Amino acid sequence: MFGEYINNTEDPKKYELWVPKIKAYRERLQEGVKPEYSLPDYSLPSEEELERGIDARALAAKCLTGEEIEITSSSATDLVQRMATGQLTAVEVLKAFAKTATVAHQLTNCAMELFIDEGMKRAEELDAYFAEHGETVGPLHGLPVSMKEHYAFKGKIAHAGYVGKLDNVSDEDLAIVRDLYNLGAVFYVRTTEPQMLMHLCSNNNITGKCRNPCNTLLTPGGSSSGEGAIAAMNGSAFGIGSDIGGSIRGPAAFCGVWGLRPTTKRISLAGVANPYDDQSPDVVYPTLGPIGRSADDLALCMKAVIDQNPWEKDPLVLPIPWKDVPEPEPKKLKIAICYDDGFVRPTPPVLRALKTAKSKFEAAGVEVVEWKPLDVQKIVYTCYVAYNFDQNYGQKARLALSGEPVVHLSQKHLSFGLGDGAVSGLEVQRLVNIRDKYRCIYMDKMNEMGIDYILTPAYVSVAAKPETITYWGYTCLWNILDFPNVSFPSGLSVLLEDRVDKSFKPRNEVEEYEYSLYTGPDDFVNAPIGLQLTGRRYTDESVIQAAKVLAEVMQDELTVTQRAVL
Amino acid sequence: MFGEYINNTEDPKKYELWVPKIKAYRERLQEGVKPEYSLPDYSLPSEEELERGIDARALAAKCLTGEEIEITSSSATDLVQRMATGQLTAVEVLKAFAKTATVAHQLTNCAMELFIDEGMKRAEELDAYFAEHGETVGPLHGLPVSMKEHYAFKGKIAHAGYVGKLDNVSDEDLAIVRDLYNLGAVFYVRTTEPQMLMHLCSNNNITGKCRNPCNTLLTPGGSSSGEGAIAAMNGSAFGIGSDIGGSIRGPAAFCGVWGLRPTTKRISLAGVANPYDDQSPDVVYPTLGPIGRSADDLALCMKAVIDQNPWEKDPLVLPIPWKDVPEPEPKKLKIAICYDDGFVRPTPPVLRALKTAKSKFEAAGVEVVEWKPLDVQKIVYTCYVAYNFDQNYGQKARLALSGEPVVHLSQKHLSFGLGDGAVSGLEVQRLVNIRDKYRCIYMDKMNEMGIDYILTPAYVSVAAKPETITYWGYTCLWNILDFPNVSFPSGLSVLLEDRVDKSFKPRNEVEEYEYSLYTGPDDFVNAPIGLQLTGRRYTDESVIQAAKVLAEVMQDELTVTQRAVL
């Protein structure tokens, strides 16, 4: 699964020159923490407390009024409707989210840039527009939307987690930013991501690690780390992440929120800063997608963006309109559940959630069958090779710009597949051939079984401790196959009964390592158990609706107290 | 533009073993020429006469009744409607097309397999079905459809122009064959293609060269050579070709018929025999598409195929339904005309057609602007490199199966781009990057100019003499950009006034060579001048309708006699 990576980009002397830029960047970030929106220093937990693991969600309430709690815990779908009917103003909404976002950052380090003043100016303009015209500027009018850092904002830096890109100021707002703005979104925060964007975790040399709000000992996942954390803290109405291996679904699952990795090429990538300015590694293609607090919010975002006909400006986007799809009746659903991908077995809490899902689904009339592993190791290996088939040229060139230290999971990622090893054009063609054949094999299997959806873990386990995860198979399988997924909260979190299965005999080293990361319930208190629902290519609309219904079925038996926590 | 190709696949000794298989294949083909459908030997022109250049279309009439002429010169759209209302039977229709197809083969060598008996059985079944149920089996009920050789038919050979694949008998009918069959098509002929499928011409070691029906001295183009020839001979209602560099548009333009190269991934490729069994070179992606005698027939075929929702069986097909688009009014059209791609200038007849187009369009109220060349040499070179980035591994491995001689244009093709030279994974990513950037640049340009269509030549010139063409820039530009095109007859053909411009100073060697292939009107009598209309990605429907209107405008002033010839 892993190749060889030659660590030759670090250059401590060169890096010294960049350290002041990092410092300045952090200071600007800190300046964004405005007293009126933040927890006072005295009520902040210490680093040691955070390191022991606390539930940051509960703390946030301390600086919020009841009305602000009501606003920030409302769905985007609800908020936008209330603003459109004059029940709420954009300024009222942003003021509430400015607090949750700021506190989220104070407790989890989820932001890379906080610019609430700019957002407030925009909110005021929107309110003025509404007052004058009696209508909204668009379907996202007044919604505070968070954005992962690596999208170009005019006049702002886009570094994609590379210290050497700290000078990279964008010339213009690009595609998704411009579109969301035109639709009425309010921008005020850009969220954190790991070095190189290629960890299922969050560490970088610019602003450091992000914490999981549910348990600050743990990682929020990655690479849309800050988006997962801010959503769990009700710090934005929804946010935009990106995903080429699990980067939306990991954080959503680990933080107990919703994330959609749409089929690729439905959302424009124009203006997304990535490691490959002059390279387009399209064997495994990235996509943007929403992270939020409800299924409806994912659909709201997607519909608004796709209704702009992005293909009229960007020929790389497919002209597939967004369809309004009704919620399926549970009794008409037939789904397959995958309890093990055949390569790395899920840990006890995840297995429990899958079994719970089965029994609850069946009780609700859903037909459930088992999804047997289908050459996962081969496909995931193909995906790992496809990540690095430029011999790591793009990523290493950008690391070398600053000579910055290569953090642990970047080192791991650079050893994926063949590492720095050469891949010939012929081999690239064979990777694509394997990819396309398995796209067909998986679809044939779904047709043969008569199912439209597959329920799987979003990762082997719940959120892990920082800087540990190396196996992305449960998510990146679907990136290379390009079947869309919704990562959603099962409503369950780790319980005392989720003890490590000591009798378990790992089948391989990857499984042994990854399984060992779950050390039992004590370290994983409150860790949400997210699941992943996968559908056929380009049926993103239906996957969202099916996940909505299945999540409702799973959460039916929650107690009132548990609901309140959610 | 050209690299180095190392000729190391030929093996005369091994090839000797394959010669009997070639002989048997040719005998089977000859057995398909049934006396009842063919011109008697005594009325066939000699090889010398064919080589001097005759109009084969006129000869065909000799063995047809007036009714058969009426049937075979009717559009597919018209025929299917008459069969659906009981005015014609499938057997009547096939009998007429059996004659035109057989004679087309006798005069041009356009077929690789003639199996009219099988077709007749199918036609009888369709008639029986219609008699019993009073309705058709589908929208293509009873249409005689020709198919390029390299699609899998159950129990038949699919060799893709490689001698070494003469044993490759398909296990099943695949996607397009099955779909067309289910829609009511009648199969009875499979058409010729060049060795390796990669010439804008037609020579292979199995059945040799195909001739252009309009002037048998000339090539019908390629690689869908037989489809171009059979369409010009009214030998099928329409046919299916394939195109990765001009293989539909070249033959359509050279033979004076219609061809659509749709945007890729709208038609399933499942079961297309190609040189790459375990390679998928998707930087430049191939597509299938119809070749026929009218714009309406292209739309009829596309709609029928796409209405089957091929994406439900093949996840590589995009779920973009076929739209019924009205014909645009000429006065609402704004198009750009490209008179020169900046690298290889069109020859006098093509330039005359473009200028005629401009004046006729303007007279009809179409707004016409000029399309300036936009980095064509760079993009075409990128495309040439992308064809061979497996270092010719796939094609050479298949040539080596039989050790067959590498025909002239195969040698040329194997030297495209970097020839046998190594291309690294990083370089592949850069090819894709150039491709995707130019997709955006071209669309931006169209948006900036406010145009939806670009009219260009389909090739530098009219049909050339066999085994000469090496520059595909006017067509392959659009393959790598993946903008859809319709190649259509301008209604014009070479005239005495189309003299060589002796004052022309070539700008480069490619232009000098390619321009030299047009030696003046005497050798090119009757050669049709085809043009190519290009639109935005995925607007195939609109491109067909716009081309229909523009072709009507161009042909408005034709004399009654000229119309009769068309």
Within-domain flag for A563: no
The answer to whether residue A430 neighbours chain B at the CB level (below 8 Å) is: yes
- Pick the catalytic residue: A99, A148, A396, A412? A148
Calpha distance A322→A306 (Å, rounded):
6
Q: Which tokens in the block code for residue B338?
A: 């490209």
The answer to whether residue B168 neighbours chain A at the CB level (below 8 Å) is: no
Q: Among A423, A428, A430, whose Cβ lies nearest the Cβ of B278?
A: A430
**B353, B474 contact by CB (below 8 A):** no
Contact A433 B320 (CB under 8 A): no
Calpha distance B335→A519 (Å, rounded):
67
Within-domain flag for A530: yes
pLDDT for the residue numbered B564: 44
DSSP result, A202-229: ---TTT----BTTBTTS---SSSHHHHH
Query: Distance (Å) from the C-alpha of residue B438 to the closest C-alpha of chain A?
Result: 10
Q: Which residues pair with B480 in a beta bridge?
A: none
Chain A CB contacts of B394 under 8 Å are: 426, 429
Within-domain flag for B21: yes
Rg (CA), chain B: 22
pLDDT for the residue numbered A565: 43
Examine the residue annotation and report whether A303 is marked as an active-site residue of this protein: no
Within-domain flag for A4: no
Q: Among B280, B313, B319, whose Cβ lies nearest the Cβ of A436?
A: B280
Count: domains in chain A? 1
Contacts of B520 (CB under 8 A, 6+ apart): B498, B499, B500
Within-domain flag for A423: yes
Calpha distance A390→A388 (Å, rounded):
5
pLDDT for the residue numbered B253: 98
SS3 content of chain B, % helix, strand, coil (to 5): 45, 15, 40
Residue-by-residue pLDDT tens, chain A, 566 positions: 778 888 899 999 999 999 999 999 999 999 999 999 999 999 999 999 999 999 999 998 888 999 999 999 999 999 999 999 999 999 999 999 999 999 999 999 999 999 999 999 999 999 999 999 999 999 999 999 999 999 999 999 999 999 999 999 999 888 899 999 999 999 999 999 999 999 999 999 999 999 999 999 999 999 999 999 999 999 999 999 999 999 999 999 999 999 999 999 999 998 776 556 788 888 999 999 999 999 999 999 999 999 999 999 999 999 999 999 999 999 999 999 999 999 999 999 999 999 999 999 999 999 999 999 999 999 999 999 999 999 999 999 999 999 999 999 999 999 999 999 999 999 999 999 999 999 999 999 999 999 999 999 999 999 999 999 999 999 999 999 999 999 999 999 999 999 999 999 999 999 999 999 999 999 999 999 999 999 999 999 999 999 999 999 998 743 343 444 44
pTM of the predicted structure, to 2 decimals: 0.96
Contact A422 B425 (CB under 8 A): yes
Within-domain flag for B413: yes
Contacts of B435 (CB under 8 A, 6+ apart): A280, B283, B284, B379, B382, B386, B480, B481
Calpha distance A69→A60 (Å, rounded):
9
Neighbours of B498 (CB within 10 A): 24
Query: Distance (Å) from the C-alpha of residue B282 to the closest C-alpha of chain A?
Result: 7
Cis, bond preceding A503 (omega within 30 deg of 0): no
* Residue appearing with tokens 């527009």: A129
Helices (H), B393-424: 393-402, 408-414
Contacts of B138 (CB under 8 A, 6+ apart): B182, B183, B184, B304
Angle subtended by helix axes A116-133 and A90-108, to nearest 10: 160
Angle at B234 between CA B231 and CA B240, to 5 degrees: 35
Examine the residue annotation and report whether B154 is marked as an active-site residue of this protein: no
Q: In terms of residues, how long is chain B?
A: 566
Q: Is A486 helix (H, G, I), strand (E, B) or coil?
A: strand
Q: What is the ipTM of this complex?
A: 0.95
Within-domain flag for B275: yes
The answer to whether residue B309 neighbours chain A at the CB level (below 8 Å) is: no
Q: Among B282, B315, B435, whose Cβ lies nearest the Cβ of A432?
A: B282
Domain of A541, CATH number, reads: 3.90.1300.10
pLDDT for the residue numbered B559: 38
The answer to whether residue A445 neighbours chain B at the CB level (below 8 Å) is: no
Q: Which tokens in the block code for residue B50?
A: 């064919």
For an interface test with B, which of A279, A384, A416, A537 has the most B Cβ atoms less than 10 Å from its Cβ?
A279
Residues A317-326: b if buried by 16+ CB within 10 A, e if exposed:
bbbbeeeeee
Examine the residue annotation and report whether B170 is marked as an active-site residue of this protein: no
pLDDT for the residue numbered A270: 84
Q: Using 70 as the pLDDT threshold, list the residues of chain B that sit under it.
A: 273-276, 557-566
A359 has binding-site annotation: no
The answer to whether residue A309 neighbours chain B at the CB level (below 8 Å) is: no
Chain A CB contacts of B450 under 8 Å are: none
Contacts of B144 (CB under 8 A, 6+ apart): B93, B94, B97, B98, B101, B119, B185, B186, B188, B236, B237
**B279, B391 contact by CB (below 8 A):** no
**B38, B447 contact by CB (below 8 A):** no
Calpha distance A174→A152 (Å, rounded):
6
Its domain, for residue A43, covers: 12-554
Q: What is the H or E stretch that residue A436 is in?
A: helix A425-449
Within-domain flag for A562: no
